[in-house]
Amino acid sequence: MKSKIAQAIKSKYFPVAVLWSDEKPEGAIQFKEGKRGCVASVLFQAAKGHTAVFDEKTTGCNGGAVGLGFKDFELGYIEYFLSTGSPERNIPGEYHRKNPEMAKGFTQQLPHIQIPTKYVVFKPLDQVNEDERPQCIVFFVNPDQLSALVMFANYDKPTKDNAILYSAAGCHQTILEVIAQNYTDSPKAIVGLTDISARRFVDKDLLTFSLPFKRFVELEAEVEESFLSKEEWGNLRDR
């Protein structure tokens, strides 16, 4: 499966398809059970041409299990970890939220996704078969490319908020929140990897631009008539 969008923005990296599957791809990258790791780091490897797979026991961390849609956060730990910590409970704090109450409110706003399969698979889009239907597509983009894609997300809409940015963990921004858009009447693109805990796993000039699959298909059909095929963007793209 090729992407006109990727070609139009001259993407250095493969768009990554996120799929649900009951079959484990042969030779796929996978965390060992109990080993810590960041989903964002594996997503970046998929953008470089590798296939990766996760099951409920190999998500790298609890946040990754939530971000991939295997489960919801359980309160009692996460609200302290995301905020001030708790010495009494021996919980370190990231100070990403002002206090546990703020962090609790954040976790309760995350989408709930019930995955119907055993695995979540990351695969370069050009390796996706015709009979496979991704849940979302993730682009790794520089500032110029991101600017173009934010504009492009609004190209065929009369509204101005068709590309949005949520404050969340990297895997929540790039996967969980994007897949949740598939269940809305007007699916939106989501800008991601503004999570400072995940940014160390990608180049400093890159963010992500993720599209729910339905919206990806719609926008693919608009590339040739849009500014992405015109001189103004071409000059910026090639500078």
Lookup result for tokens 């021996």: 90
Q: What secondary structure does DSSP assign to 15-56, as a single string? A: PEEEEEESSPPTT-B-PPTT----HHHHHHHHHTT--EEE-T
Q: What pLDDT is attached to residue 54?
A: 98
Query: Is the Cβ–Cβ distance between 81 and 93 less than 8 Å?
Result: yes
- The whole-number pLDDT of residue 196 equals 96
Pairing of strands 163-165, 189-192: parallel
pLDDT at residue 114, rounded to an integer:
85
SS3 107: helix
Sequence ranges of the domains in the chain? 4-72+110-237
- Residue stretches of the chain with pLDDT short of 70: none
Can you give the pLDDT at residue 22? 97
DSSP state of 192: E
The DSSP code sequence of 137-169 is EEEEE-HHHHHHHHHHHTTT-SSS-SEEE--S-
The predicted pLDDT at position 34 comes to 87
| Confidence at residue 109, expressed as pLDDT on a 0 to 100 scale | 94
As a whole number of angstroms, the distance between CA 55 and CA 30 comes to 9
